Structure 1
Amino acid sequence: MTSLPAVDIPLLAEVLQRFLAEELRASGLSGYVCGLSGGLDSAVAAALAVRAVGPEKLRLLALPGPTSSPESLAHAQEAANTLGVRLELVDLSAPSRLLAQTLGCEDDRLRFGNLLARLRMVALFDAARAHGLLVLGTSNKSEILLGYSTLFGDQAASVHPLGDVWKTHVFALGEYLGVPAVILQKPPTADLWPGQTDAGELGFDYLEADPILYYHHDQGLSEAELCAQGFPPELVAKVLATYRRNRFKWRPTVIARVSASCINVDRILPRNPRP
């Protein structure tokens, strides 16, 4: 029980591709726009979109900030080349510095990281408005459950094809979809400051955390039951503490219920009604 259940990766890819095709059809818009970071999640999301709607309906933006790694941009370009889609550069260094100075957060790397994540989404939604596109999200289930995402930043996309996919399975999807090996093999990072990695901030690796999250969140095992199944107690405590601490991010906008028909609470509405 110390690993995730097996998943049919080709079937998972097919389901996600159909989801993206249907969401675009229902929107009436002309395609998707995605921020390509040079990391695995955005490369996988973009690859799914290409398979779902074709490269001509995908716009890819590189959105570096003042502390972004040149390596990340090179990896984003390699992913775009693999997909046959032109990568457009939107350098957020100057506007992010100016806004950080205005807000007084230029020396606080966490605040500045959140600012940059939200500026990236501003750029993506502006491109979406300018060209009639949906913003393609890149957050996976592991990141969302652990709160390793920025509210109204990377969480604020129009659609999230990977939002119910464990990071472990994103790696498998990347290999299946032909994501460049250099992206598959590098440590996950949000590229918000030099040397930053997801594992360094979280204190554990996604491949370690995913089985614990699965058996707790999906199967309902308690902390004691997880330890009894052989998971290291210290790791279990650390993962579940992060999980509990960041639950407020799962539903970014909570509506105060004062009626019998509160939106997103009582009404189950079809998202994509057909004519």
Structure 2
Amino acid sequence: MEAGKVSKKIDEWIKDKVALAEAKGVVFGLSGGLDSATIALLCKNAFSDNTLALIMPCGSRKEDTEEAVSFAKKFDINYRLIELDESYNKLVGEFKKTQLKESLDHNRKRLALANIKPRLRMTTLYYFANLFDYLVVGTSNKSEWMIGYFTKYGDGGADIVPLGNLLKTEVRELAVYLGVSQEIIDKPPSAGLWEEQTDEEEIGITYNELDACLSGQKSIEKVDLMIKRSEHKRALPDMPDFK
């Protein structure tokens, strides 16, 4: 992959999509991780004056928030810091009032609660998108997208997904070209859904193994199953073809 050419193509693609929508700029979530840092610089290149990064901690590590703020300042990216902990806690408190009596699986309950966070962030992104007539830019890459490793109507809720045809390993190459620090590139990928959560541990394989499968270099049954099960997450809501 020639990172320079890819960067230029994505910059032009972002501009074209914004122009097609007759919008004025772009807004995205900045977490301090590899993908969002890469998106931040691509958006900044495409729209130097009309790019907005939202840093939205919600049960997040203090270090991640600080790194996101530091990154935005370093590259002179317009940003807003919006704390979502209070909103999250209020919503969870309301849910607990339902007093469900069913015996719920711990992991399923933990995931249901964790998915509230990216959905709150999506709501926040679209508020600012509506406010400024911007498009919401998603930060998912092809590796995550293909196996459904994103929250439906959460971080999967976006107008455009510039990294959607780049594997995680390719995003790393692009990040190096754009000037993302090695510290961010080497940081263990995490959606920050709960304490000490990492992407690779949750997925069950490394990104290198996953990318090898998606590029046809090897086959792992688990990956094929994840692609099949998550098909609904990559499509518009299904509806019957009869009346």
Taking structure 2 as the reference length, what is the TM-score of the superposition?
Answer: 0.90
For residue 230 of structure 2, what is the amino acid of its counterpart?
N
| Aligned pair partner of 2:50 in 57, 67, 72 | 57
- Aligned-residue offset at 1:167: 0.9
Structure 2, unmatched stretches of 5+, are 99-105
| Aligned pair partner of 2:36 in 36, 42, 52 | 42
Work out the CA distance in 2 between the residues paired with 1:83 and 1:208.
32
For residue 58 of structure 1, what is the amino acid of its counterpart?
T
Percent identical among aligned pairs is 33
Q: Within 5 A, what are the aligned runs for 1:69-80?
A: 69-80=61-72
Q: Within 5 A, what are the aligned runs for 1:77-116?
A: 77-104=69-96, 108-116=109-117
CA contact (8 A) 2:189 2:199 kept: yes
For the pair shown, the structure with the greater C-alpha radius of gyration is 1
- 1:255 counterpart residue number: 239
| Residue 241, structure 1, aligned to residue 204, structure 2 | no
For residue 215 of structure 1, what is the amino acid of its counterpart?
G
Q: Within 5 A, what are the aligned runs for 1:8-47?
A: 8-47=2-41
Work out the CA distance in 2 between the residues paired with 1:242 and 1:42.
24
- Aligned-residue offset at 1:84: 0.7
Work out the CA distance in 2 between the residues paired with 1:175 and 1:154.
24
- 2:143 counterpart residue number: 142
For residue 94 of structure 2, what is the amino acid of its counterpart?
T
For residue 213 of structure 2, what is the amino acid of its counterpart?
I
Work out the CA distance in 2 between the residues paired with 1:84 and 1:176.
18
- Aligned-residue offset at 1:252: 4.0
Q: Deviations over 1:86-118 (max 9, x none)?
A: 33111100111111121239x832111111110
- Aligned-residue offset at 1:8: 1.7
Aligned-residue Cα RMSD (Å) equals 1.8
For residue 63 of structure 1, what is the amino acid of its counterpart?
M
Work out the CA distance in 2 between the residues paired with 1:96 and 1:15.
38
For residue 52 of structure 1, what is the amino acid of its counterpart?
A
- 2:202 counterpart residue number: 201
